[in-house]
Amino acid sequence: MNPLKIYNSLSREKEIFAPINPPYAGMYVCGPTVSGETHLGHSRPYVTFDIVYRFLQYSGYKVRYVRNITDAGHFEEEDKDAVDKVAVKAKLEQLEPMELVQKYTNIYHDMMDKLNVIRPSIEPTATGHIVEQISMIEDIIAKGFAYVVNGSVYFDVTRYAKQHDYGRLSGRKIEEMIAGSRELEGQGEKRNPADFALWKNAPPEHLMRWKSPWGEGFPGWHIECSAMSSKYLGIPFDIHGGGMDLLFPHHESEIAQTKIATGLALANYWMHNNMITIKGQKMSKSLGNTITIAQMFSGGHPLLEQGYSPMTLRFFILQTHYRSTLDFSNEALLAAEKGLQRLMNALDALNKLSYKENAAQYKEEENNQVLQLMNSCTEYMNDDFNTAMAMASLFELSSKIFSWKNEQLAIASIKKETFELLVKTFNAFVTDIFGLKNEKENDDSKMNGLMELLISLRKEARSKKDFATSDKIRDDLFAAGIQLKDGKEGTSWEGV
RNA sequence: GGUCAGAUGGCCGAGUGGCUAGGCAAAGCUCUGCAAAAGCUUCUACAGCGGUUCGAAUCCGCUUCUGACCUCCA
């Protein structure tokens, strides 16, 4: 068995994962800014790191997973109009920033639950850690790497770059950045365009504000992650994750701040998931191709021909390696829907199979092949979480399972221990590691009773060759959204 | 403009210097009263042009095209 290897964005290589304090592992993932509705783009990192979290646990690590909620600071800018518009209204009519934040946090949680993303060990909010952020900023000022201008505090990137390796993570050089930087509003306060805000002075109309040594204001975007990760994981910690678009400037800034505040490197392994694209382009509001996760499930978007279930989306994400872009199209989603169904059918079939001893039917080669396929699932996951390859092995095992079910292949061609291990491993991979669940299960006992009656009536009609009646039952049920499935062991049903 | 990724069969997508990933679609078959569902089988691709090599889709160079980041972003 090979050790777990993780592609580290810092070194641009796969490295053997060696946590600082085994069997404990600390992981921090940049969470969403809750100023808008959870969209398709959000599904990628949270499913990706959900898999990392699950697989680390499966591998025996005790993981503390911290994933923040950004509910303070820069986000108000996007809703500036709304804030300004309501400023003169009565208190209750005003859009409370916390109300907005709560609304979108609720939606985010709801969508993550639907996607079967396990909630993190700690989910800290930026507004809940103002004290920690102020304290870290004071520390950075004291060390001479930040300066105060008109109630705002900026990190001195130029000074930092003279002594430290700035731009290593994102692979850029500070001189080029300064040369190529654009003139942006508010840059007048900065000594250098490359500097970034640690704390921002709040204009009078800004509703979200806190007292600080520099006046009333709100924290800069990057500082929260440094403050919260160091508080809950210690510095350095093992894994820091997030979307590739956060490499610069967000993660680069986190590294710089933390280095000055603590004297240490923030995290040992940096993991970045790639983007979700639609017809080859990243989703963005300006292109008008943003699809919310709710729309994805309901099909309520012009680009979608139909709704796709949460597990279809999850499966679709897992079929691609997390460092590749993932392009959305109806055909691809439809293919994922079918593929997921096949995998779930295999799981179901396996769990219903029982082993029948027959030493004469044993085939060494068959047994080894099954063992090898099972083993490869773990090996592929150990190779930088290659879910696509592990999934392929599960599909190969699925073919075996169906062959046993159809008795095209004797179950006794493999050893009893192999079969038992397969049941355990297959379930673990599909359910525990990939986090997939059967969405078509029906555990409504009243409904089941009713269906049993209809199925037995149809069976009776068929035995009397009264096909008019049996077909009416079948076709009318189908029209009502229920599909009957005739199999060797009788008839089953599922909602379509 | 700078930096960095990619270009794989009808579609989506892994991957490795020699050993046909996998999924979907399609065709044939099995099952069935007929269907549906399900399963089985078949379908040998790696942008173009050079080079390295016994051998390259895989390494190197060039060309073309696409995307991402450089500003809020997952």
Does residue A14 reach within 7 angstroms of strand B, measured from its CB?
no
CA-nearest of A186, A205, A238 to A81 is: A205
Is A402 within the bounds of a domain?
yes
Strands A217-219, A196-201: pairing is: antiparallel
- What is the per-residue pLDDT for A43? 94
| CB distance A484 to A477 below 8 Å | yes
Task: Choose one of A247, A273, A299: the last residue of a domain.
Answer: A273
CB atoms within 10 A of CB A255: 26
User: For position A329, which CATH number holds?
Assistant: 1.10.730.10
Strands A281-282, A326-328: pairing is: unpaired
Please tell me the distance from the alpha carbon of residue A26 to that of residue A236, in angstroms, as a whole number.
9
Same-domain status, A16 and A137:
yes
User: For position A189, which CATH number holds?
Assistant: 3.40.50.620
For the segment 358-417 of chain A, residues whose CB is within 7 A of strand B: 386, 388-389, 391-392, 395-396, 398-399, 402-403, 406, 408
| CB distance A269 to A11 below 8 Å | no
Q: What is the pLDDT along chain A (496 residues), one digit of tens a residue?
A: 789 999 999 988 889 999 999 999 999 999 998 888 899 999 999 999 999 999 999 999 999 999 999 988 655 444 444 444 334 444 555 667 888 889 899 999 999 999 999 999 999 999 999 999 999 999 999 999 999 999 999 999 989 998 888 888 888 777 766 655 544 444 578 888 889 999 999 888 777 889 999 999 999 989 999 999 999 999 999 999 999 999 988 999 999 999 999 999 999 999 999 999 988 788 877 677 889 999 999 999 988 989 999 999 999 999 999 999 998 889 999 999 999 999 999 999 999 899 989 999 999 989 999 999 999 999 999 999 999 999 999 999 999 999 998 888 899 999 999 999 999 999 999 999 999 998 876 667 888 889 999 999 999 999 999 999 999 999 999 988 888 988 877 898 887 7
Which ipTM did the prediction report?
0.93
Nucleotide nearest to A315 (CA to C1'): B23
For the segment 302-321 of chain A, residues whose CB is within 7 A of strand B: 319-321
Same-domain status, A312 and A197:
no
Please tell me the distance from the alpha carbon of residue A10 to that of residue A337, in angstroms, as a whole number.
36
Nucleotide nearest to A77 (CA to C1'): B72
The DSSP bridge partners found for residue A16 are: A5
CB atoms within 10 A of CB A41: 21
Nucleic acid strand B: bases within 7 A of protein CB: 1-5, 11-15, 21-25, 31-41, 66-74
Q: How far is CA A359 from CA A154, A400, A411, A412, A414, in A?
A: 75, 19, 11, 7, 9
Is A451 within the bounds of a domain?
yes
Strands A482-487, A490-495: pairing is: antiparallel
> Domain tally for chain A?
3
Does residue A187 reach within 7 angstroms of strand B, measured from its CB?
no
How far: A344 CA to B6 C1' (Å)? 32
